[in-house]
Structure 1
Amino acid sequence: MGQNGASARRWLERVLLALLGTVVGLIVCEGLLLIGGISCPNFYRPDRYTGTALRPGAQGWYRGEGEAYVRINRDGLRDRDHTLAKPAGTIRIALLGDSYAAGFQVSADKTFWSVMESELTKKNVFAGKHIEVLNFGVPGYGTALELLTLQHRVWKYSPDLVLLAFVTGNDVSDNTFALGHEKRTPYFVHRGGRLILDEDYLEWYHSREGAIPKLYYWLLNHSRLLRVFKEASYRIDQAVRLRQQMEVAARSGFQEIGLSDMIYCQPEDALWNEAWDITEELLVQMRDDVRSHGAAFCVVTLSNGIQIHPDRAVREEFMRKLGVADLFYPERRIMDLGTRAGFPVLNLAPALQSYSESKGMYLHGFGAGVGAGHWNIEGNRVAGNMMAE
């Protein structure tokens, strides 16, 4: 018995020593990440209506593309705090969009919506009224999630104008699971001749409820090491998603160009026709919801890097590979829809192309990635000024 007891004590001592070593190792790793300034801040939370949303109060350095200190306000917007009640003498503009609108790549005062607000104020567009832009943009959102955001989050602020920032490069493909491949995202689907919300994403959302998930998110928000691991997992997921998209592109005959570039061509397969049909129906639903609240609705299509590349020869070579005469098919299609459905559309890409070519200036990208990705500081500035004109 004594020999068994001694063996048990030695086993317990080894376990405790291993646990202590693990704890010390984790503390050391956290300290090294702190000293190195590595944090990978968590800006997101699970959300009942949109799958994911920005986390109120989150802040930290974003260095995924460009570099900016990002703060999420108390209501989960990448913006300053706003009162729910609209101040007297104020025109409120609610901006819906994705990562372009969120603008993590630049400081908040350099984003296009901040520039637009400042320019509209300077120009006294609304006859002495104060202009207030509220930014509801969230990275990864498509038209479906922007519609849900409008329905569940925007109206408590009583906006006068709802401005949808539409990114042709991915907003259409983001609106169907067949092209988007995101299980955490709500999608609208055609069933019985109607466009309805498919709530399959709720399985993922409900898996994030309960004590254990809450503990996980608490640790995530307080542990740099866990956030670094999560960032690595996210990058792996993105690589898998990109491979899936490339497979879809290959089946459609676009092996060389890639999935996102199919947006510049008139769709000839069922997947892209469905994606466009859903997108257009969502835009009409958005128009109807805005009108029912007595506000105005406007769509502004932004730009993709290749559309406004300053070198004409680069654009022409890209068009040759695609077999198209220009890169503005999605802009024309959205403009045509606006004409039929009775809402204004502002297409920025043609004007931005002229500007970048005349100045020999890249408006997309940072550092080694210049020419691609999101708008840089100059791109945001020029776009914001154009929107205010």
Structure 2
Amino acid sequence: MKKRILRWLGNIIALVVALFLILAVLEVAVRIFIPQSSILTVRDRYIGRTLKPNMDVHLQGSDWASHLWTNAYGWNGNTFPVEKPGHIKRILHIGDSLVEAIHVDTDKNFVSQLEQHMPGTQQLNLSVAGRGTFLELLTYRHYGRSYNPDVTVLWFYTGNDSRDNYVTRDFIKGISMEESVIEEPQLGILKTFLLQKLRLPRLIFEKGKDNPLFLWLLVRTGLLSTEPEELNRDIPLGLATTIVDTPERALAMEVNEKLLVAMKKEVDKGMLVLGIIPSLLEMDLRTTPELIEKYPVLQGKKIDLDFSQKRIAELAEQHGILVFNATPVLRQALLDGKKPYLEGDGHLSQEGHDIIAREFKAWLIAHNLP
């Protein structure tokens, strides 16, 4: 009996050791072969995270490769003096990953191109992936204002900004807009080790974070302390706050309007412009039947691929904010057989950056800006 117990114990130990070795090999493989965007950022007490300062790295994805460098402040681009030179006009760009643009070379994203093709201007890119409008407002408050911009462009990505703003609705209600510090959630020792120190768990989380079953498992195992908005939903929140007529979308638009008004009040130096970048999903009218096939619950629902970008533009204009909407030019590019988006993840391709740089430059000149 004792020998049998020892044999079973030995088998269990061998299994645990083998599993540990397999996971260790996978962790090493992930570190070597799979680029991780999370290692590009550092903690920031005001806006959560920024890119690492003075970084110079080469990145690669399934359908893109880029050379990314950052300045001394942790923004994508070259270092610039905080004090604006007297003969220079500054245009500040604040957005999420679409404008942060790690998928193309730093000197080829549309912000850099604008500076190259508009002599006498400095185009500063203060964009960080994963931002909603509230964090972008804080970015202006704590960093953008000090650069004394002549024009501030708030870039709104209709693919997920409404969702991000909807998720923060209770947070925004519960605090004053004067609140300025973003507290990072406190994790236990095990959670910290798994989700912050190791790359394999982070990769698994990134790949599965939009899967309700995966999120349910994380909640049940204690790795997520509260149930995410996506759980127990028939319609994904990203669709419910953009192209599908739902109560969530109506509420998201109310939050969007509140944040736009707050941003206009916040920008007390120069002029505020709202730039709108639509998602690839919203560009293709053939998307609707495919969505209904994937989500049968959408059958009979009112789906409007253009609603989000049109409504956001209307809200901004109602409050006296100038709007540049990239939807028409990007849709025309697709109709012309061009590929302004990366097929793998929907970010702007090099062609997309070229298009926005060209069109936004023309728009600025037409509006006598800066």
Calculate the TM-score normalised by the size of structure 1: 0.70
CA displacement at 1:57 relative to structure 2 = 2.8
Q: Give CA deviations for 1:233-282 in whole Å, capped at 9, x if unaligned.
A: 544556568775554541xxx3xxx332234446432x433322122111
Corresponding residue SS for 1:301: strand
Q: 2:36 touches 2:199 (CA, 8 Å); kept in 1?
A: yes
Q: 1:307 touches 1:353 (CA, 8 Å); kept in 2?
A: no
What is the aligned counterpart of 2:271 among 274, 277, 296? 296
- CA separation of 1:319/1:354 partners in 2, compared to 1, >3 Å: closer, same or farther? farther
What is the aligned counterpart of 1:48 among 45, 48, 54? 45
CA displacement at 1:33 relative to structure 2 = 7.8
How far, CA to CA, are the matches of 2:266 and 2:59 in structure 1? 34
Aligned residue in 2 for 1:145: 135
What is the aligned counterpart of 1:190 among 152, 155, 173? 173
How far, CA to CA, are the matches of 1:268 and 1:324 in structure 2? 9
- CA separation of 1:161/1:354 partners in 2, compared to 1, >3 Å: closer, same or farther? same
Aligned residue in 2 for 1:202: 183
Of the two, which has the highest radius of gyration? 1
Corresponding residue SS for 1:189: helix
Q: Give CA deviations for 1:339-359 in whole Å, capped at 9, x if unaligned.
A: 2211111111123212320x1
- Letter aligned with residue 160 of structure 1: D
Note the 1:44-83 alignment, pairs <5 A.
44-64=41-61, 66-83=64-81
How far, CA to CA, are the matches of 1:315 and 1:347 in structure 2? 21
Q: Give CA deviations for 1:268-308 in whole Å, capped at 9, x if unaligned.
A: 32x43332212211111111111x2x310000100211233
Percent sequence identity over matched residues? 24
Corresponding residue SS for 2:240: helix
- Letter aligned with residue 378 of structure 1: E
Corresponding residue SS for 1:190: helix
What is the aligned counterpart of 2:155 among 165, 173, 181? 165
CA displacement at 1:170 relative to structure 2 = 0.6
How far, CA to CA, are the matches of 2:301 and 2:75 in structure 1? 41
How far, CA to CA, are the matches of 1:266 and 1:33 in structure 2? 37
Q: 1:94 touches 1:134 (CA, 8 Å); kept in 2?
A: yes
How far, CA to CA, are the matches of 1:318 and 1:330 in structure 2? 19
How far, CA to CA, are the matches of 1:239 and 1:200 in structure 2? 30
What is the aligned counterpart of 2:240 among 255, 262, 267? 262
Corresponding residue SS for 2:172: strand
- CA separation of 1:264/1:64 partners in 2, compared to 1, >3 Å: closer, same or farther? same
- CA separation of 1:174/1:322 partners in 2, compared to 1, >3 Å: closer, same or farther? farther
Q: 2:277 touches 2:326 (CA, 8 Å); kept in 1?
A: yes
Structure 1: gaps (5+ residues): 1-21, 122-129, 180-186, 221-225
Q: 2:245 touches 2:301 (CA, 8 Å); kept in 1?
A: no
- Letter aligned with residue 183 of structure 2: L
Q: Give CA deviations for 1:140-165 in whole Å, capped at 9, x if unaligned.
A: 00101100101011112111100011
Aligned residue in 2 for 1:364: 341
CA displacement at 1:230 relative to structure 2 = 4.2
Aligned residue in 2 for 1:85: 83
Q: 1:189 touches 1:196 (CA, 8 Å); kept in 2?
A: yes
How far, CA to CA, are the matches of 1:330 and 1:281 in structure 2? 16
Aligned residue in 1 for 2:312: 334
Note the 1:23-34 alignment, pairs <5 A.
none
Number of aligned positions between the proteins: 320
What is the aligned counterpart of 1:306 among 281, 297, 301? 281
Corresponding residue SS for 2:254: helix
Q: 2:167 touches 2:229 (CA, 8 Å); kept in 1?
A: no
- CA separation of 1:242/1:134 partners in 2, compared to 1, >3 Å: closer, same or farther? farther
Q: Give CA deviations for 1:316-366 in whole Å, capped at 9, x if unaligned.
A: 635886855752111221222122211111111123212320x12222114
How far, CA to CA, are the matches of 2:57 and 2:210 in structure 1? 22
- CA separation of 1:201/1:237 partners in 2, compared to 1, >3 Å: closer, same or farther? farther
Aligned residue in 2 for 1:383: 356
Q: 1:73 touches 1:80 (CA, 8 Å); kept in 2?
A: yes
1:317 to 2:289 alignment = yes
Calculate the TM-score normalised by the size of structure 2: 0.73
Aligned residue in 1 for 2:264: 287
CA displacement at 1:195 relative to structure 2 = 5.9
- CA separation of 1:355/1:322 partners in 2, compared to 1, >3 Å: closer, same or farther? farther
Q: 1:319 touches 1:325 (CA, 8 Å); kept in 2?
A: no
Corresponding residue SS for 2:332: helix
Corresponding residue SS for 2:183: helix
How far, CA to CA, are the matches of 1:171 and 1:104 in structure 2? 18
